[in-house]
Structure 1
Amino acid sequence: MTSPVSDSAGAVGGGWNERREDYALRRVPLSYRQWGAISLTGVMLGVATAMFFLAWGGQLIIAYGTVNTLIGMIFGTVLIGGVGLVLTRISAATGLDSDLITRGAGFGFMGSAFTSLIYTFNFVMFFAFEGEIMAAAIHDYWPVIPSWSVYLAVGLVFIPLTWWGITAMNWLMWATLPVYLGFLVWTIVLAATSDTHAAFWSHVPTTVANPAAGPALLQVMAASLGLISMATGAADLGRFLPPGKRTGGAVALGFGSMFVTLCVLTMLGGWFTLRFDGSTNPGAYLSGLMGIWGVLFVIVTQLRINTTNVYSGSLAYANFFCRIFHITPGRQYWVILTTVVGTGLMFGGILDHLNAILTFEATFIMAWVMAVVSDIVINKRLGLSPSNFVYKRAHTYKYNPVGVGALVFALAIALPLAFNVAGPLGKTLAPFVSGIVAFAAAPAIAALTRGRYYLPATAASNIDPALPAVGTGSIANIASARADAHTQEVNGTSRCTTCADSFELAEFVSCPFHQGPVCSVCCSSESRCKEMCKSEQQAVLTIKSAPTQSA
């Protein structure tokens, strides 16, 4: 079992155990949702300050020209920022991260586990991109240090940096921001005073990187879709916002961070490339321009971005292994797996295939994210799915054909395109096809199934009277749990029958297997019960017995 966090330490700055966990597998309680939009946006902008975006901007402008790159970045800001706004408002209102939202948005308990794998690869991929850039900077300045040793060092250093979760990340981001901005201003001055006088806004490549892959603008837009996971990353941070500040926080985390990332820093990276003789690897040109200070600049940005990558990857791994293998050692231990996989990708030279990998990854991410968005903006508004976001194992089917079906259908059509079956143009179109098909398929499947796979018949009811009455429940167990809540030091909490830790009432269901209130994580990781609460016999028995018992 995991070491669940006690809500008695639920305020910001609570126990170290809480800071390590950051409610990786459960709803964030109201007592912990006190973070401001400025603080969380600061953490989110750790992504924007990645060297990856400077390198990517250089590659895009060299290959496709400045105007095409700018239009593509505006497109990415509007689309990804819009998705981020929708998801972050939901996460701030519910306290759920993107994975828990996915469960109740058409995928089911086990169905969303596989989207966690898609999500995880995205973060280890960016972890590897950044690691390679830093290795290039260090190796170029100190040729005696082999790149492989830097890869290993990068993997090791981020384990302690992300062990303590969002609290340590917030401190790191704000502490390093002045250093980063100082180095960035220095680089801008060097670029502005460079002897190279290449035109920026009018720059057009002599030939498009791959004319057979379609118009240059289309290729840039396809590559930008590979960053759609930044929208789900915004939601993962947005769950720490107070519900009353969800709209302003969602705008800042969604649109604000995307504008800075794509329209400012990515374009700035393209300008640097043209001013520094066409070099697209900032790890190489910064060490050449600034010497040891350039290497330090790269290291600072590496610390900022890869703490976010490793943290987000550990969240996704924690969710996946909890559901598939019922393993819950704690969010912080999956930090180790995230860094190991990311380090392995560095050795594979992933940076050399940046645009192709982004487009391929976008095919998977778009199918998942657009199926979720479709369920939120269409299915829930049309009454095809429940208006609330059910996430507990006892209240969800293992698989919901709405989201899972939309994902499979979209990938069945788009993956052959991504694998070049229809040639380079088909490969470019793959992420667009994936997103459009998934968005259209989710409401179609929901209508065909009449939404019957969202809420199973269950005997496990919420014990919190403020929540919707999901499940038939056992009134005796619910009454017992509520009575127990009044004996706790913190009002509105109960104690888990399994792990004996206290949480807010919203975390619990009345479990017929354990004969008492069980928290959502213990419910998720329980392998012995065989989901007896969802068995037809148990549900019928509970329904029959409920009216004869007193509350």
Structure 2
Amino acid sequence: MTQEMTPPAPTAVGAARETLEDYTLRFAPRSYRRWSPGVVGVTALGGIAYLADFAIGANIGIAYGTTNALWGIAVFALVVVATGTPVAYYAARYNLDLDLITRGSGFGYHGSILTNVIFATFTFIFFALEGSIMAQGLELGLGIPVWLGYALSTVIIFPLVVHGMSLLSTLQLWTTPLWLVLMVLPFGYLVAAHPESVTAFLAYRGEDGNGAPSLGAVMLAAGVCLSLIAQIAEQIDYLRFMPPKTPENARRWWAATLLAGPGWVLFGAVKQVVGLFLAVYVIATVAGGARVANEPVQQFLLIYEDLVPGWLAVTLAVVLVVISQIKINVTNAYSGSLAWTNSVTRVTGRYPGRLVFLGVNLAIALVLMEANMFDFLNTVLGFYANMGIAWIVVVATDIVVNKYLLGISPKTPEFRRGMLYPVNPVGFGSVVVAGGLSIATFFGALGPAVQPFSPLVAIVLGFVLPPVLAVATRGRYYLRRRDDGIDEPMYDEHGNPSAAVLCCVACGQDLERPDMTASAAGGHVCSLCLATDRAGEHVLPAQH
């Protein structure tokens, strides 16, 4: 059948046009990746400007004491660096988001929908957390009722996320310097002007005074922090726009990839420590301070009041909160909308539009805020962490162990329909077992002695199960086909995805080689048109 005999599907055409702004559900082509490694890196780091770290650090310190909290933060940082490095490299090298990477890293074409739901949950939980912090700031500075502040912090994000990466990169670049000054200055002043606060911080034993060093308390603290492990997926939503890695830019490319990939946790860990430090200072300085010590706006307001007149202190605190909330929640909203859209498109074969699920994600986050999620922060984050850890550890293990050490999993990524089995038991089964058992442990099903170690259950099983299942299945379920039917090479002489352009028979768009396969109906077809091909006329048959 010739290309002229296969008319473009309306759904495919509409989806293709809408996703060309930021390549929502597909490989990010070289023609669009016009930013330098430095710009991509700064843009990605702009997404970690959230104040949730201050609240998390304060909460775990108040609950478990400074010593246990610091060790918990160290465990968290080590796990994130170990798991984030391989997935960040993979994303930057092959220009794919974490969902596309996950498909070919042990989950299958439909199997990765499970992890999309895990990630979407991460985005609306942390959107709600940041929105709550902004509402606290609006109430303090402008007297706006908290319930209305929740709504305002949600609505303000929608127009900023509509235009994808092009607007987000500009927003993050221009707001980062002011954010850094507003955040770093008060902490530096506090340490210099009140050195006794350091001694009080190190000696703090928690709200009940029983925060003696304890492995169980360390793991409980680490578990709350590790709810942030899925942040690497948001970093990757930016890192996928890295330019090709060449001998000329290799050092800058690696620096940007490592700093903006796993490197985000260095900034996150520092913010958690500072959040605890400020909380201890608030408790020691303000009458009844324990009640608001975990609220970042109160932490910064107290220090600003030492520096400037009261009216300016309130203004600076509110400005810091608003900038931080906008910088992170545009990322939460953007990434969450991608995750939902990707899942629904694969399940239904229809592209509903990213903006539909931008609205859905924001609505869920608003419900969580109105339900006062902030007061149950440790429980919500500790529970979520189990599935987030299982997902990221399994993907990282498949890349490092199954792809590079054992050679069972295909070394180069695959994400296209027809090339993958619907479900691969290696990754999918590992996440279900590791996440399920760690959640059961979290709720005490294995006994109170083991309960604090639920994150460790997710980490150990997430590392052990993928190679075991890959060997047991002999890699049978990774690839449905090894040949995509196109003679044009997939990669250039430096190992970067090819910039060669082919025309899609279904939507008529000219797209780069890595996004295309041969069509069973003749010609070439892009990955998104394959996803919306409900009749399956373009899907290549399996190879046996």
TMscore range, shorter length: 0.7 to 0.9
Tell me: higher relative CO, structure 1 or 2? Use CA pairs within 8 A at least 6 residues apart. Answer: 2
1:453-496 deviations in Å (ceiling 9; x for gaps): 1111488524533369xxxxxxxxxxxxxxxxxxxxx9821211
Deviation at 1:112, TM superposition (A): 0.3
Partner of 1:337: 360
* Distance change >3 Å, CA 363–CA 530, structure 1 → 2: farther
* Preserved CA contact (<8 Å) 2:87 2:395: no
Equivalent-residue separation in structure 2 for 1:385 and 1:185 (angstroms): 44
Give 5+ residue unaligned stretches, structure 2: 1-10, 284-289, 306-312, 493-497
* Distance change >3 Å, CA 206–CA 347, structure 1 → 2: closer
Q: Aligned to 1:283, which of 297, 306, 321? A: 297
Equivalent-residue separation in structure 1 for 2:461 and 2:537 (angstroms): 35
Q: Aligned to 1:247, which of 251, 254, 260? A: 254
Q: Aligned to 1:272, which of 278, 300, 318? A: 278
Equivalent-residue separation in structure 2 for 1:464 and 1:328 (angstroms): 29
Secondary structure (helix, strand or coil) at the match of 1:499 reads coil
Question: 2:224 corresponds to which letter in structure 1?
Answer: A
Secondary structure (helix, strand or coil) at the match of 2:200 reads coil
Query: Is residue 2:341 matched to residue 1:314?
Result: no
Equivalent-residue separation in structure 2 for 1:51 and 1:383 (angstroms): 41
Partner of 1:356: 379
* Preserved CA contact (<8 Å) 1:213 1:427: no
Secondary structure (helix, strand or coil) at the match of 1:201 reads helix
Partner of 2:218: 217
* Distance change >3 Å, CA 300–CA 366, structure 1 → 2: same
Map 1:154-193; keep pairs closer than 5 Å.
154-188=153-187, 191-192=190-191, 193=193
Q: Which moved more, 1:178-187 or 1:454-463?
A: 454-463
Equivalent-residue separation in structure 1 for 2:261 and 2:540 (angstroms): 39
Deviation at 1:101, TM superposition (A): 0.5
Give the structure-1-normalised TM-score.
Answer: 0.84
Equivalent-residue separation in structure 1 for 2:97 and 2:237 (angstroms): 5
* Preserved CA contact (<8 Å) 2:141 2:318: yes
Deviation at 1:510, TM superposition (A): 1.2
* Preserved CA contact (<8 Å) 2:239 2:261: no
Partner of 2:464: 440
Equivalent-residue separation in structure 2 for 1:405 and 1:91 (angstroms): 23
* Preserved CA contact (<8 Å) 1:71 1:217: yes
* Distance change >3 Å, CA 176–CA 528, structure 1 → 2: same
Question: 1:78 corresponds to which letter in structure 2?
Answer: L
Counting aligned pairs with the same residue, the percent is: 29
Equivalent-residue separation in structure 2 for 1:206 and 1:348 (angstroms): 25
Query: Is residue 2:518 matched to residue 1:510?
Result: yes
Question: 1:504 corresponds to which letter in structure 2?
Answer: E
Partner of 1:11: none
Question: 1:375 corresponds to which letter in structure 2?
Answer: D
1:108-145 deviations in Å (ceiling 9; x for gaps): 000001110001100110000011111112223344x3
Query: Is residue 2:231 matched to residue 1:230?
Result: yes
Secondary structure (helix, strand or coil) at the match of 1:243 reads coil
Give the structure-2-normalised TM-score.
Answer: 0.85
Map 1:120-519; keep pairs closer than 5 Å.
120-143=120-143, 145-188=144-187, 191-192=190-191, 193=193, 197=197, 199-205=200-206, 207=208, 215-244=216-245, 245=250, 246-262=253-269, 264-277=270-283, 278=290, 279-286=293-300, 289=305, 290-380=313-403, 381-457=405-481, 461-462=485-486, 464-466=488-490, 492-512=500-520, 514-519=521-526
* Preserved CA contact (<8 Å) 2:235 2:260: yes
Partner of 1:471: none
* Preserved CA contact (<8 Å) 2:65 2:211: no
Q: Name the count of aligned residue pairs.
A: 502
Query: Is residue 2:527 matched to residue 1:520?
Result: yes
The alignment yields a C-alpha RMSD, in angstroms, of 2.8
* Preserved CA contact (<8 Å) 1:375 1:443: yes
Deviation at 1:224, TM superposition (A): 2.2
Deviation at 1:186, TM superposition (A): 4.6
Deviation at 1:184, TM superposition (A): 2.0
Secondary structure (helix, strand or coil) at the match of 1:494 reads strand
* Distance change >3 Å, CA 491–CA 358, structure 1 → 2: closer
Deviation at 1:307, TM superposition (A): 1.0
* Distance change >3 Å, CA 528–CA 304, structure 1 → 2: same
